[in-house]
Amino acid sequence: MARKRAPAHSFRARFDAMVAALRKHPKIEVYEVVVRPPASAADLAAAEAAIGMPLPPEIRAFYEAHDGVFLEWGLKGEEYERTAAFDGPDDNHPPGCINLLPVRRAMSPSWEEDSHVNEIQPDHQELLFGAPLDPQPEVRAVCVDNYARYHHGDLVLGPTPVMVVSTDYGADMDSSDFVSFPVYLDLTLALFGVDRYEHGVGIGWSRKPKRVEAWTKQFELDALLAKLDDDGYSDDEDDEESEEQDDE
Protein backbone atom coordinates (compact mmCIF):
# COMPACT_ATOMS: atom_id res chain seq x y z
CA MET A 1 0.00 0.00 0.00
CA ALA A 2 1.36 3.42 -0.97
CA ARG A 3 2.29 5.71 1.88
CA LYS A 4 0.03 8.73 2.17
CA ARG A 5 1.81 11.97 1.45
CA ALA A 6 2.34 14.04 4.57
CA PRO A 7 1.20 17.67 4.39
CA ALA A 8 3.74 20.48 4.18
CA HIS A 9 3.11 21.60 7.78
CA SER A 10 4.60 18.30 9.06
CA PHE A 11 7.87 18.98 7.24
CA ARG A 12 9.61 20.28 10.40
CA ALA A 13 9.07 17.10 12.41
CA ARG A 14 10.27 14.92 9.55
CA PHE A 15 13.21 17.22 8.88
CA ASP A 16 14.28 17.12 12.54
CA ALA A 17 14.08 13.31 12.56
CA MET A 18 16.23 13.15 9.42
CA VAL A 19 18.84 15.50 10.91
CA ALA A 20 18.95 13.37 14.08
CA ALA A 21 19.63 10.26 11.97
CA LEU A 22 22.43 12.06 10.12
CA ARG A 23 24.03 13.22 13.38
CA LYS A 24 24.05 9.66 14.72
CA HIS A 25 25.83 8.18 11.73
CA PRO A 26 29.56 7.62 12.40
CA LYS A 27 30.63 8.53 8.85
CA ILE A 28 28.69 11.80 8.60
CA GLU A 29 29.37 15.32 9.83
CA VAL A 30 26.46 17.74 9.89
CA TYR A 31 27.93 21.17 9.21
CA GLU A 32 25.01 23.52 9.58
CA VAL A 33 21.27 23.51 10.16
CA VAL A 34 19.17 26.68 9.84
CA VAL A 35 15.40 26.87 10.16
CA ARG A 36 14.19 30.43 9.80
CA PRO A 37 11.09 31.71 11.59
CA PRO A 38 7.80 32.04 9.71
CA ALA A 39 7.62 34.48 6.83
CA SER A 40 5.84 37.70 7.64
CA ALA A 41 2.72 38.87 5.88
CA ALA A 42 4.87 41.52 4.18
CA ASP A 43 7.32 38.88 2.94
CA LEU A 44 4.52 36.78 1.49
CA ALA A 45 2.88 39.78 -0.15
CA ALA A 46 6.18 40.88 -1.69
CA ALA A 47 6.79 37.38 -3.03
CA GLU A 48 3.37 37.28 -4.65
CA ALA A 49 3.91 40.72 -6.16
CA ALA A 50 7.25 39.58 -7.58
CA ILE A 51 5.75 36.64 -9.48
CA GLY A 52 2.45 38.35 -10.29
CA MET A 53 0.23 35.61 -8.83
CA PRO A 54 -0.83 34.14 -5.48
CA LEU A 55 1.52 31.61 -3.96
CA PRO A 56 0.24 28.04 -4.35
CA PRO A 57 -1.46 27.06 -1.06
CA GLU A 58 1.03 24.31 -0.16
CA ILE A 59 3.99 26.64 -0.74
CA ARG A 60 2.39 29.45 1.21
CA ALA A 61 1.76 26.99 4.08
CA PHE A 62 5.42 25.97 4.04
CA TYR A 63 6.62 29.55 4.29
CA GLU A 64 4.06 30.39 6.94
CA ALA A 65 5.78 27.72 9.04
CA HIS A 66 9.43 28.52 8.21
CA ASP A 67 10.86 31.13 5.85
CA GLY A 68 13.71 29.02 4.55
CA VAL A 69 15.37 25.79 5.64
CA PHE A 70 19.07 24.97 5.22
CA LEU A 71 21.03 21.80 5.92
CA GLU A 72 24.49 20.78 4.76
CA TRP A 73 26.38 17.60 5.60
CA GLY A 74 29.37 15.69 4.33
CA LEU A 75 31.53 12.66 4.94
CA LYS A 76 33.95 12.85 7.86
CA GLY A 77 37.55 13.35 6.82
CA GLU A 78 36.64 14.87 3.44
CA GLU A 79 37.26 18.46 2.37
CA TYR A 80 34.48 20.38 0.63
CA GLU A 81 33.64 23.90 -0.42
CA ARG A 82 31.07 24.69 2.22
CA THR A 83 27.93 26.62 1.30
CA ALA A 84 26.76 29.71 3.18
CA ALA A 85 23.13 29.23 4.17
CA PHE A 86 20.79 30.31 1.37
CA ASP A 87 23.62 31.10 -1.05
CA GLY A 88 24.41 29.03 -4.14
CA PRO A 89 26.78 26.05 -3.72
CA ASP A 90 30.18 26.15 -5.41
CA ASP A 91 32.17 23.35 -7.04
CA ASN A 92 33.17 20.47 -4.73
CA HIS A 93 30.22 21.13 -2.44
CA PRO A 94 29.21 18.55 0.19
CA PRO A 95 26.95 15.73 -1.01
CA GLY A 96 24.07 16.51 1.34
CA CYS A 97 22.28 19.83 1.06
CA ILE A 98 18.79 21.22 1.49
CA ASN A 99 18.66 24.91 0.62
CA LEU A 100 15.00 25.92 0.56
CA LEU A 101 15.36 29.63 0.03
CA PRO A 102 13.53 32.37 1.95
CA VAL A 103 10.36 33.33 0.12
CA ARG A 104 11.52 36.76 -1.06
CA ARG A 105 14.69 35.27 -2.55
CA ALA A 106 12.95 32.23 -4.03
CA MET A 107 10.22 34.16 -5.82
CA SER A 108 12.59 36.13 -8.00
CA PRO A 109 11.19 37.62 -11.21
CA SER A 110 14.61 37.35 -12.87
CA TRP A 111 15.57 33.73 -12.09
CA GLU A 112 14.76 32.36 -15.53
CA GLU A 113 16.50 35.22 -17.34
CA ASP A 114 19.58 35.22 -15.10
CA SER A 115 20.12 31.52 -14.51
CA HIS A 116 18.38 29.36 -17.11
CA VAL A 117 20.17 28.47 -20.31
CA ASN A 118 16.92 27.25 -21.84
CA GLU A 119 13.82 29.38 -21.59
CA ILE A 120 10.58 27.60 -20.80
CA GLN A 121 8.86 27.04 -24.13
CA PRO A 122 5.18 26.42 -25.03
CA ASP A 123 5.92 22.73 -25.56
CA HIS A 124 7.29 22.55 -22.02
CA GLN A 125 4.09 24.10 -20.70
CA GLU A 126 2.06 21.64 -22.75
CA LEU A 127 3.95 18.79 -21.12
CA LEU A 128 3.55 20.18 -17.61
CA PHE A 129 0.07 21.70 -17.76
CA GLY A 130 -1.65 20.07 -20.73
CA ALA A 131 -1.48 23.08 -23.06
CA PRO A 132 0.65 26.18 -23.68
CA LEU A 133 -0.40 28.97 -21.36
CA ASP A 134 -2.32 31.89 -22.83
CA PRO A 135 -1.71 34.48 -21.60
CA GLN A 136 1.82 33.72 -20.46
CA PRO A 137 2.48 34.24 -16.74
CA GLU A 138 4.57 37.24 -15.77
CA VAL A 139 7.17 34.86 -14.30
CA ARG A 140 7.53 31.34 -15.65
CA ALA A 141 10.00 29.74 -13.24
CA VAL A 142 11.71 30.40 -9.91
CA CYS A 143 14.31 28.54 -7.86
CA VAL A 144 13.00 27.18 -4.57
CA ASP A 145 15.80 24.77 -3.60
CA ASN A 146 19.29 25.86 -4.68
CA TYR A 147 21.02 22.73 -3.39
CA ALA A 148 23.91 21.98 -5.81
CA ARG A 149 26.33 23.65 -8.21
CA TYR A 150 24.63 22.30 -11.33
CA HIS A 151 21.24 21.12 -10.09
CA HIS A 152 18.44 23.06 -8.42
CA GLY A 153 14.80 22.47 -7.57
CA ASP A 154 12.73 24.91 -9.64
CA LEU A 155 9.07 25.78 -9.47
CA VAL A 156 7.51 26.17 -12.91
CA LEU A 157 4.52 28.48 -12.58
CA GLY A 158 1.18 27.81 -14.16
CA PRO A 159 -2.37 26.73 -13.26
CA THR A 160 -1.00 23.99 -10.98
CA PRO A 161 2.70 24.85 -10.46
CA VAL A 162 5.13 21.92 -10.43
CA MET A 163 8.67 21.27 -9.28
CA VAL A 164 11.37 20.02 -11.63
CA VAL A 165 15.09 19.56 -11.03
CA SER A 166 16.91 21.68 -13.58
CA THR A 167 20.42 20.82 -14.65
CA ASP A 168 23.32 22.70 -16.25
CA TYR A 169 21.76 26.03 -15.30
CA GLY A 170 18.85 25.28 -17.59
CA ALA A 171 15.16 24.54 -17.25
CA ASP A 172 15.71 21.22 -18.97
CA MET A 173 12.12 20.02 -19.05
CA ASP A 174 13.15 16.99 -21.09
CA SER A 175 15.43 15.53 -18.40
CA SER A 176 13.40 15.68 -15.18
CA ASP A 177 10.12 14.20 -14.08
CA PHE A 178 7.84 16.73 -12.39
CA VAL A 179 6.10 16.71 -9.02
CA SER A 180 4.00 18.85 -6.73
CA PHE A 181 5.78 20.83 -4.03
CA PRO A 182 4.70 18.44 -1.22
CA VAL A 183 6.00 15.46 -3.22
CA TYR A 184 9.27 17.32 -3.76
CA LEU A 185 9.61 17.71 0.01
CA ASP A 186 8.92 13.98 0.45
CA LEU A 187 11.62 13.16 -2.10
CA THR A 188 14.13 15.53 -0.50
CA LEU A 189 13.67 14.05 2.95
CA ALA A 190 13.68 10.46 1.66
CA LEU A 191 17.08 11.21 0.09
CA PHE A 192 18.52 12.84 3.24
CA GLY A 193 19.23 15.88 1.07
CA VAL A 194 21.35 14.00 -1.50
CA ASP A 195 21.03 15.10 -5.14
CA ARG A 196 17.36 14.93 -6.16
CA TYR A 197 18.27 14.77 -9.84
CA GLU A 198 20.84 11.98 -9.76
CA HIS A 199 18.93 9.80 -7.30
CA GLY A 200 15.34 10.92 -7.76
CA VAL A 201 13.51 12.53 -10.66
CA GLY A 202 16.32 12.96 -13.19
CA ILE A 203 15.79 10.84 -16.30
CA GLY A 204 18.46 12.33 -18.58
CA TRP A 205 16.39 12.32 -21.78
CA SER A 206 15.96 8.54 -21.54
CA ARG A 207 12.18 8.86 -21.95
CA LYS A 208 9.45 11.46 -21.91
CA PRO A 209 9.11 13.14 -18.51
CA LYS A 210 6.05 12.27 -16.48
CA ARG A 211 4.27 13.55 -13.42
CA VAL A 212 5.13 11.62 -10.25
CA GLU A 213 2.04 11.74 -8.05
CA ALA A 214 3.63 10.44 -4.83
CA TRP A 215 7.05 9.53 -3.49
CA THR A 216 6.99 6.31 -1.46
CA LYS A 217 10.59 5.07 -1.67
CA GLN A 218 12.60 5.58 1.51
CA PHE A 219 16.34 5.31 0.91
CA GLU A 220 18.66 3.57 3.35
CA LEU A 221 21.36 5.97 4.51
CA ASP A 222 24.17 3.40 4.26
CA ALA A 223 23.13 2.56 0.69
CA LEU A 224 23.24 6.24 -0.22
CA LEU A 225 26.70 6.57 1.29
CA ALA A 226 27.87 3.59 -0.73
CA LYS A 227 26.52 5.24 -3.86
CA LEU A 228 28.34 8.46 -2.97
CA ASP A 229 31.56 6.45 -2.73
CA ASP A 230 30.89 5.11 -6.22
CA ASP A 231 30.27 8.65 -7.46
CA GLY A 232 33.60 9.86 -6.07
CA TYR A 233 32.43 11.88 -3.07
CA SER A 234 35.02 10.19 -0.84
CA ASP A 235 38.55 8.87 -1.24
CA ASP A 236 38.96 5.13 -1.03
CA GLU A 237 41.92 4.35 1.25
CA ASP A 238 42.45 0.97 -0.39
CA ASP A 239 42.75 2.64 -3.81
CA GLU A 240 45.25 5.13 -2.42
CA GLU A 241 47.35 2.35 -0.90
CA SER A 242 47.23 0.43 -4.18
CA GLU A 243 48.39 3.49 -6.11
CA GLU A 244 51.27 4.00 -3.65
CA GLN A 245 52.35 0.37 -4.11
CA ASP A 246 52.23 0.78 -7.89
CA ASP A 247 54.44 3.87 -7.61
CA GLU A 248 56.99 1.86 -5.65
Which residue from 66, 58, 73 is spatially nearest to 25, judged by alpha carbons?
73
**Res 145 pLDDT > 90:** yes
What is the widest separation between alpha-carbon atoms in the chain?
69
pLDDT in the model for residue 121:
86
Instruction: List helix spans (H) across 109-194.
Output: 111-115, 122-129, 181-190
pLDDT at 144 over 80: yes
- Measured in whole angstroms, the distance separating CA 104 from the mean position of its chain's CA atoms is 17
In this predicted model, what pLDDT tens digit does every residue of 85-130 receive, in sequence order? Answer: 999 999 999 999 999 999 999 999 988 888 766 788 888 999 999 9
Cα(77)–Cα(69) distance, rounded to whole angstroms? Answer: 25
Q: How far apart are CA 153 and CA 167, in angstroms?
A: 9
**Residue 168 DSSP class:** T
The answer, yes or no, to whether residue 2 has pLDDT greater than 70, is: no
Supply the pLDDT for residue 113: 81
pLDDT in tens, 159-180: 999 999 988 766 677 899 999 9
